[in-house]
Structures are given as C-alpha cells and as structure tokens.
Amino acid sequence: MKRTKDKTSFYFVDESGDPTFYDKRGNLILGTEGVSKILILGFVKTDDPKSIRKGLHKLQREVACDPYLEGIPSLEKTLITFHAKDDCAEVRERVFRTIAKFDFNAEIVVARKIPAVFNERHRRSEHVFYDDLVSRLFENRLHLAKQNEIFFATRGSKPR
C-alpha cells in the first residue's frame, strides 16, 4: 500500500448515463428512450486545480474572441462552461488540446444496469446503486493524500 502524502488532492466527479431502472409506477424502463443501459461514473484528480481552471478560462476567452466561431448557436453555453455534448467540434478539439497539457489523472467505473442485481444488491434504490459505484470508484484512493476535496457535478437540482 502506498503511503499517505502531506498534500490535498482534488477530485471532480461526473457521470454519463443515469441510475434509472423503473418509472414512478414501478415499470421497468431500462433501455427505453432516454434511459441508458449503463452508468459510467468517473473522476478527474489533480493536486493543482487552479492552473486547470486558469487554462480553461483562458481558452474560453480565446473562443469568445474567435471570429471563425462567431454566431455558432452553442457558443452561448460554451462561454459559461465547456461540455462535450453541447460544444461544436471545433471547440471540443481545442478543449482536448488544452487539457492534454494539464497534470491530472482520470478514472472511471462502468456499471451495466442489470435489473436482478439492482433489485437484490441495491434494494431497487437508485441512491444505493449510485453510492455503491462511488465507493468502488474511490476504493484505495482516498488514503493517498492527507486531505481530499471531492466535488460532484449536479444535474439541475438533483444532488446525485
């Protein structure tokens, strides 16, 4: 086991997909329109979030001033925050080239959504399912730094 270092590690957690299996009436809706068959949960870990934030803000200013990108409908959202789903290909390529220069690690867990496992192991609870994935994602990680700060992305007003 690695020894704890006297530092602060910063984790930024986000997901792709959703933890939904059933609708409000208890009907299985897994795989229907808008309900994913998997849930991916991952983090980006860095010891220096300020330099990443500074670099991304610089890129946003460059994108905002680029006449080639002027008038692209998604640019309004891009100037608030970058997001691969919303950004045009030209912006995604610039973000990729920018983040390739930063010092960070990324890890993910991928969960296939299997109703029998969800019903038994997670007691049909999306929260229990999500928390199980978070536990697996951070297994053997948090002891590596003396202090850890973990930031979870939110979707709308949902805390998960």
Q: Is 97 inside any structural domain?
A: yes
pLDDT at 1: 66
Sheet of strand 38-46, all strands in order from the earlier edge strand to the far edge: 105-112, 38-46, 5-17, 145-152
Q: Is 38 inside any structural domain?
A: yes
- Give me the average pLDDT of each 10-residue run along the chain (160 residues): 87 94 96 95 97 97 96 93 93 97 97 97 96 96 94 76
Based on the fold, state whether residues 114 and 36 are members of the same structural domain: yes
Residue 48: how many other CB atoms lie within 10 Å: 13
- pTM of this prediction? 0.87
Based on the fold, state whether residues 54 and 90 are members of the same structural domain: yes
Q: Is 37 inside any structural domain?
A: yes
| Domain limits for position 137 | 7-48+105-153
The Cα-based distances of 137 to 27, 106, 149 in angstroms read 29, 11, 15
Q: State which of 78, 102, 126 marks the end of a domain.
A: 102
pLDDT at 154: 84
DSSP string of 21-52, one letter each residue:
-B-TTS-B-TTSTT--SEEEEEEEEES-HHHH
Judge residue 102's burial from the number of C-beta atoms within 10 Å of its C-beta, 0-12 exposed, 13-18 middle, 19 or more buried. Answer: middle
The alpha-helical segments, DSSP class H, found in the chain are 49-65, 75-78, 89-99, 115-121, 126-138
Based on the fold, state whether residues 53 and 98 are members of the same structural domain: yes
